[in-house]
Amino acid sequence: MQKKKINIAVDGFSSCGKSTIAKGLAKELGYTYIDSGAMYRAMALYAIQHGLINDSEIDETALQKHISEIKISFKNNSNGGQDTYLNGENVENEIRTLKVANGASRISTLGFVRKALVHQQQEMGKEKGVVMDGRDIGTVVFPDAEMKLFLTSSPEIRAQRRYQEMILKGEGALYEDVLANVIERDQRDSTRAESPLLKADDAIELDNSETGIEEQLNWALQMFNKITS
């Protein structure tokens, strides 16, 4: 007998491997994966491309005026993964830079941006069978999700992981800069007025500082089986 589909929320700090676990769960369960972080990165990329954000400020009035024109979608690629599209253009590589990541963290503090994207995300989850990762999925986007995970690890380990990813992609970076960015994002995400990073009361927490990807996925699948049994 096929198990009833549920929604799964994966939250936690930046560079904690949330997307890796979420993608792994979606693949194993045959669920749909929605990368909420990629949606905010795409929004930030749009703002950068149109001169609506710089190092010191965001043109909120202009961004709000154009937000209805910003369409974000996902499509499977030939490698078995999925790419992010901004108004029909594949921007998967462009949204993974440190500049866009920082812009996404800043832009995600704007209430009207979060409202627009949360609406899109909630529409995607109405049919169940969705895995979504971010920072407020279990508290804001899917507060009624049947399974909620919260991932954490030390800033130093998260910065090292992110640094290694950037080096493998051929991006020039200094570990110290990446660590500073991780710490800054933690502070901003945890203290923002709009939907701050919080662990949901009913979320299951995992500190994955010393836990490999396969071990984490097996643990998450065990939690899924307990909840759906």
d(CA 184, CA 173): 16
Crossing angle of helices 175-191 and 98-107, rounded to 10°: 10
Q: What's 15's DSSP letter? A: T
The CA–CA distances, whole Å, from 29 to 32, 33, 117, 122 equal 9, 10, 25, 20
- What domains lie within the chain, and their CATH numbers? 8-218 (3.40.50.300)
CA 119 to chain centre: 16
pLDDT at 52: 97
pLDDT at 14: 84
pLDDT at 157: 94
Ramachandran angles phi, psi of 199, nearest 5°:
-85, 125
d(CA 134, CA 157): 19
In what side-by-side order are the strands of the sheet with 204-207?
32-35, 130-134, 8-12, 147-152, 204-207
d(CA 184, CA 225): 36
Q: What's 95's DSSP letter? A: G
pTM listed for this prediction: 0.74
pLDDT at 1: 53
3-state helix, strand and coil shares in percent for the chain, rounded to the nearest 5: 50, 15, 35
Mean pLDDT by 10 residues, the chain (229 residues): 85 89 91 88 97 95 95 82 91 94 92 91 88 90 96 93 89 90 90 83 92 92 93
- The DSSP code sequence of 103-169 is HHHHHTT-HHHHHHHHHHHHHHTTTS-EEEEESSIIIII-TT-SEEEEEE--HHHHHHHHHHHHHHT
**DSSP-derived 3-state class of residue 3:** coil
